[in-house]
A and B are shown apart, each in its own frame.
Chain A
């Protein structure tokens, strides 16, 4: 079938502001949006610019706004979008460098700000630290994060207040706060108790809807805020 792609484009060397361009491509129902972007780039216009790498939803390069929702272009099929018109735009809320490429520096800086690494200053055992399957299960969901930014850039609280640390950073803090091997939960909770931390979440669930990994993000944020509240009692 024929699909019309409407892509928001911006080239800082030529354009003063973003504008929509339309491309008609032949597509099968199982084609992914990434396949269509490649068809445009390779058959019609090589200047179309986007990031991509693994092309199967594990590297997190190609998150973008597709038909009004944040998705991975490699993980959403034409038949799932249901129409013959597909709109594609860069992730909202981050500076656009060119076409569908956004500046990720601030996103990664926020990730780094929550101490996203295991901290355990105890004696290093000769073998593995033991952990029960039940304890591991407590943070299993948040280990799935691929840092694609689909969640953070779907969040109205983030749009309104770009200083908000955002869902992705909280997810990565959660991954360590609830790891029985980690000793620095208190410090991370302190960071997230900040005015630009978890309290900015308004439980709108956009992040959970946007996550291509199916992480229960809003729940993770609530678990972190409960831990902060519990700490203060």
Chain B
């Protein structure tokens, strides 16, 4: 049976929920599919804040936010997109407040704002208070508020439906075909359900689970990027992956940059604020790529704590009142997961895999594009971490992930509502479920094969060690070979659970396949980019090379299944590339 909705949204994080809200307000018959429940989405884990040049605390301008975003992204940002981001940040944050988001308040009752890494006044003069926040659970409040509004507006949800394929009409999406719906696996009973639509939006988040140490939820397995890639859509700028400097040692749970925004220090084994060696002006509030590299450099120089692979984040001097009011959740994490009291002890931290700057390429209207000429894929949209618009370029600034998913999630919903008017439903046959069914049944039916978790561990190790904070040709070649080997073994993956009811064993195996696509394209793009820019740091090519590499990468699956790379120009409007010094 095929179900019809005019528009489908895959993923119920901030981008998906806001898009759904716009569709509902426009009176469009639409639905959201999520493999979790909406309130479980990883937008809810975002902590520190959402930047918008409200100027509630001190003078600020969206042009400054735009500049910071571009410089933070090491000039790989599309500047027209950064302009949309920083302008519309203001109205989306205000709209969120109108929806009920409980922001912290200034003494005169306005939205409170604080400092965040890389956000500056007057084009880099010094830190500015731009991050609007609700304690250190800003993402939680965004997710809750948007879900509440979806309840208010009667948005239709398919909870615990795992999308396993995209449906197309008129050929593959890379060759002029149109997105026509999705095939979803109903987790409760294992049924494959076809949903047909005139517009499909991908909002499935990132793919941090390809790394050993990550802040990402288990569910972040690159589903949207991989599904689009399998149908011919390129994956853009995959080499740019952000490592957040302050993750809990070993397990990677995020400790928000808000800690440093409120004044926390980073200390080496001698108790020295080592950022003075790397970013004397912004110190701890330098962008994340720089701080992560600084930590690795300190560790390599033997200045990690007791010679080990971590340094300290120190909030002790902030005092209990400020810690409790502004950083309650992250200090709770420290107590629970490290058994440490942050009032009295410094916190061991190390970089943790955090955010994909790359993803499914889109234009400013959140329409997915398929080539260097930005040809639109009819019926397909993307926003949030899944997408690459590109507002983050080579390195995302703190809080801009939330700004991105709000601004472009909203745009995606509005654009879908516009585009589907007057459209007919595509032709979809009952047989569209068969490829996904065949792949799932092959895994389920295999009596004995490779264990998926062993494969994922091997993938996570090689990506962490050879495609992490620092990269070089030898490591990347190792990674390429290893990912290819894992991919070959994955063809023989098997699971213990052969049942149909709530078979998470099977779905995790499916997710590993998505991660492998993302890893393969990432490594290929890393190998080809022989320069260092933003989060992509090549030890064998330590300089930025604007002559050869001021360009976006597009990784496409070739006819033989191998990754093919193409490039497209960066849009530069107001700010010419300059050296990136803080």
A residues sitting closer than 8 Å to B (CB atoms) are: 11-14, 30, 32, 41-42, 45-47, 49-61, 75, 77, 97-99, 101, 104, 108, 112, 115-120, 124-133, 136, 139-140, 143-147, 176, 179, 181-182
- Which 8 interchain pairs have the tightest Cβ spacing? A118-B100, A46-B496, A130-B109, A117-B148, A42-B453, A117-B152, A128-B97, A47-B497
Q: Does chain A have a CB within 8 A of B395?
A: no
Residues of A within 8 A of B42 (CB): 53-54, 59
Structural contact, A108 and B37, CB atoms closer than 8 A: yes
Q: Assuming the A-B contacts A55-B218, A129-B98, A130-B110, are A146 and B44 also in contact, with contact meaning beta carbons closer than 8 angstroms in the complex?
A: yes
Structural contact, A52 and B218, CB atoms closer than 8 A: yes
Can you spell out 7 A-B residue pairs with CB atoms less than 8 angstroms apart? A53-B40, A55-B218, A60-B40, A75-B336, A120-B98, A128-B110, A147-B37
Separation in Å of the B347 CB from the closest CB of chain A?
15
* Assembled-state Cα–Cα distance A128/B104 (Å): 12
Structural contact, B337 and A56, CB atoms closer than 8 A: yes
Structural contact, A12 and B501, CB atoms closer than 8 A: yes
* Assembled-state Cα–Cα distance A179/B108 (Å): 17
Residues of A within 8 A of B102 (CB): 136, 139-140, 143, 179
Q: Does chain A have a CB within 8 A of B402?
A: no
* Assembled-state Cα–Cα distance A126/B337 (Å): 43
* Assembled-state Cα–Cα distance A233/B315 (Å): 49
* Assembled-state Cα–Cα distance A66/B300 (Å): 42
The listed residue with most B CB atoms (<10 A of its CB), out of A59, A101, A120, A126, is A59
Q: Assuming the A-B contacts A59-B217, A98-B501, are A181 and B44 also in contact, with contact meaning beta carbons closer than 8 angstroms in the complex?
A: no
Structural contact, A118 and B99, CB atoms closer than 8 A: yes
Q: Which of B332-351 contact A (CB under 8 A)?
A: 333, 336-339
Residues of A within 8 A of B505 (CB): 41, 46-47, 49
Q: Does chain A have a CB within 8 A of B406?
A: no
Partner of B151, one of A12, A77, A99, A117: A117
Separation in Å of the B335 CB from the closest CB of chain A?
11
Partner of A117, one of B39, B103, B149, B339: B149
Residues of A within 8 A of B145 (CB): 118
Structural contact, B502 and A101, CB atoms closer than 8 A: yes
Separation in Å of the A52 CB from the closest CB of chain B?
6
* Assembled-state Cα–Cα distance A117/B140 (Å): 15
Q: Does chain A have a CB within 8 A of B464?
A: no
Nearest A residue to B109 via CB reads A130
Q: Does chain A have a CB within 8 A of B94?
A: yes
Structural contact, B105 and A13, CB atoms closer than 8 A: no
* Assembled-state Cα–Cα distance A1/B444 (Å): 34
Residues of A within 8 A of B109 (CB): 130-133
* Assembled-state Cα–Cα distance A133/B149 (Å): 24
Structural contact, B151 and A112, CB atoms closer than 8 A: yes
* Assembled-state Cα–Cα distance A61/B188 (Å): 15
Separation in Å of the A41 CB from the closest CB of chain B?
8
Residues of B within 8 A of A143 (CB): 102, 134, 137, 141, 144
Partner of B98, one of A42, A77, A124: A124
* Assembled-state Cα–Cα distance A210/B449 (Å): 41
Residues of A within 8 A of B44 (CB): 54, 58-59, 146
* Assembled-state Cα–Cα distance A56/B254 (Å): 9
Q: Assuming the A-B contacts A53-B218, A59-B42, A75-B336, are A146 and B140 also in contact, with contact meaning beta carbons closer than 8 angstroms in the complex?
A: yes
* Assembled-state Cα–Cα distance A185/B149 (Å): 17
B residues sitting closer than 8 Å to A (CB atoms) are: 36-37, 39-42, 44-45, 94, 97-100, 102-105, 107-111, 134-135, 137, 140-141, 144-145, 148-149, 151-152, 188, 217-219, 253, 329, 333, 336-339, 451, 453, 495-497, 499-505
Residues of A within 8 A of B338 (CB): 30
* Assembled-state Cα–Cα distance A25/B118 (Å): 45
Separation in Å of the A189 CB from the closest CB of chain B?
18
Residues of B within 8 A of A115 (CB): 152
The listed residue with most B CB atoms (<10 A of its CB), out of A60, A118, A176, is A118
Partner of B105, one of A47, A58, A132: A132
Structural contact, A127 and B499, CB atoms closer than 8 A: no
Residues of B within 8 A of A116 (CB): 148, 151
Known A-B contacts: A30-B338, A59-B36, A176-B100. Give 5 more (CB < 8 A): A32-B337, A59-B40, A61-B37, A99-B502, A146-B140
- A-B contacts counted at CB < 8 A amount to 146
Residues of B within 8 A of A139 (CB): 102
* Assembled-state Cα–Cα distance A128/B94 (Å): 5
Separation in Å of the A38 CB from the closest CB of chain B?
8
Nearest A residue to B141 via CB reads A143
* Assembled-state Cα–Cα distance A131/B144 (Å): 19
Structural contact, A49 and B504, CB atoms closer than 8 A: yes
* Assembled-state Cα–Cα distance A14/B337 (Å): 37
Structural contact, A147 and B39, CB atoms closer than 8 A: yes
Partner of A179, one of B39, B100, B495, B499: B100
* Assembled-state Cα–Cα distance A60/B336 (Å): 16
Structural contact, B148 and A118, CB atoms closer than 8 A: yes
Structural contact, B100 and A181, CB atoms closer than 8 A: yes
Separation in Å of the A148 CB from the closest CB of chain B?
9
Residues of A within 8 A of B329 (CB): 58
Separation in Å of the B507 CB from the closest CB of chain A?
11
* Assembled-state Cα–Cα distance A41/B452 (Å): 11
Q: Assuming the A-B contacts A55-B218, A140-B102, are A127 and B152 also in contact, with contact meaning beta carbons closer than 8 angstroms in the complex?
A: no
Residues of B within 8 A of A101 (CB): 502
* Assembled-state Cα–Cα distance A118/B147 (Å): 11
Separation in Å of the B371 CB from the closest CB of chain A?
35
Separation in Å of the A174 CB from the closest CB of chain B?
13
* Assembled-state Cα–Cα distance A42/B100 (Å): 42
Partner of B217, one of A30, A53, A104, A182: A53
Nearest A residue to B47 via CB reads A58
Residues of A within 8 A of B453 (CB): 42
Partner of A47, one of B149, B217, B499: B499
Q: Assuming the A-B contacts A11-B499, A117-B148, are A57 and B140 also in contact, with contact meaning beta carbons closer than 8 angstroms in the complex?
A: no
Nearest A residue to B101 via CB reads A118
Structural contact, B140 and A58, CB atoms closer than 8 A: yes
Residues of A within 8 A of B141 (CB): 143
Separation in Å of the B367 CB from the closest CB of chain A?
29
Residues of B within 8 A of A47 (CB): 496-497, 499, 505
Residues of A within 8 A of B502 (CB): 49, 97-99, 101
Residues of B within 8 A of A182 (CB): 100
Structural contact, A56 and B100, CB atoms closer than 8 A: no
Residues of B within 8 A of A98 (CB): 501-502
* Assembled-state Cα–Cα distance A132/B108 (Å): 7
Q: Assuming the A-B contacts A56-B333, A133-B105, A136-B102, are A30 and B45 also in contact, with contact meaning beta carbons closer than 8 angstroms in the complex?
A: no
The listed residue with most B CB atoms (<10 A of its CB), out of A112, A128, A136, is A128
Structural contact, A129 and B97, CB atoms closer than 8 A: yes
Separation in Å of the B406 CB from the closest CB of chain A?
15
Structural contact, A131 and B497, CB atoms closer than 8 A: no
* Assembled-state Cα–Cα distance A143/B108 (Å): 22
Residues of A within 8 A of B140 (CB): 58, 144, 146
Residues of B within 8 A of A46 (CB): 495-497, 505
* Assembled-state Cα–Cα distance A51/B502 (Å): 10
The listed residue with most A CB atoms (<10 A of its CB), out of B99, B103, B149, B218, is B218
Nearest B residue to A12 via CB reads B501
Q: Assuming the A-B contacts A30-B337, A47-B505, A53-B36, are A97 and B188 also in contact, with contact meaning beta carbons closer than 8 angstroms in the complex?
A: yes
